[in-house]
Structure 1
Amino acid sequence: MPRYVIILSTAINTPTDLRHVFQSVNFFSGIFEWSVDLDDCDKILRIVCGNNISLELVKILKSGGVNSLVLEIFDENGISII
């Protein structure tokens, strides 16, 4: 099973933003784990999933008012694909 690690910079500024991230991530069934580093200035969102959902995730986050930017995507071999 392919496994991707997607790293995004986000604009999470409020508890409402964080709640939207939670709802957006839960929209996808192929996510194995995820985390947000709120102490980092870029509010890094790290997703481990079975498919490259980066474009769809960015769109869903934006629809809820959370801007994000894909910084890196790694494939199952740990090789950067962007």
Structure 2
Amino acid sequence: MMKPEDTPQFIIVLSTVIRSNADLIQVKTIIASYKCISRWSHDLEDVDQVLRILADDNISEEVITDLKTSGIAAAIMEVFIPNCR
């Protein structure tokens, strides 16, 4: 039997275009609206401005839609499940 902490989580990797501090605040607000997200990071130094999300579900399409609705360009780079056999 799997324990909750053994449940695989999705790693969602998105490229984004963050143009301002207001955009970054909007990203934080969108991320905070998802209860299934346990961790996230954003690399503004990377050419793709990579947004990495660790979530219980594959919410990549929903996050992309929310970002685009807020005027933030984004695209899915990859979605995978670590330690999945």
Q: Provide the TM-score with structure 1 as the length reference.
A: 0.90
- Higher alpha-carbon Rg: 2
| Partner Cα distance (1:21, 1:75) in 2 | 23
Q: Is the Cα–Cα contact under 8 Å of residues 10 and 66 in structure 1 kept in the other structure? A: yes
* Separation of aligned partners in 1, 2:24 and 2:72: 9
Identical pairs, percent: 37
Residue in structure 1 matching 2:21, options 7, 15, 18: 15
After TM superposition, the runs of 4+ consecutive aligned structure 1 residues lying more than 3 A away are: none
TM-score normalised according to structure 2 size: 0.87
Structure-1 residue corresponding to 2:3: none
Q: Any conservation in 1 of the 2:27–2:67 contact (CA below 8 Å)?
A: yes
- Distance in 1 of aligned mates of 2:80 and 2:8: 11
- Counterpart for residue 57 of structure 1: 63
Tell me the number of residue pairs that the alignment of Structure 1 and Structure 2 aligns.
Answer: 79
Query: Where do 1:18-37 residues align within 5 Å?
Result: 18-37=24-43
| Distance in 1 of aligned mates of 2:56 and 2:82 | 9
2:83 aligned with 1:77: yes
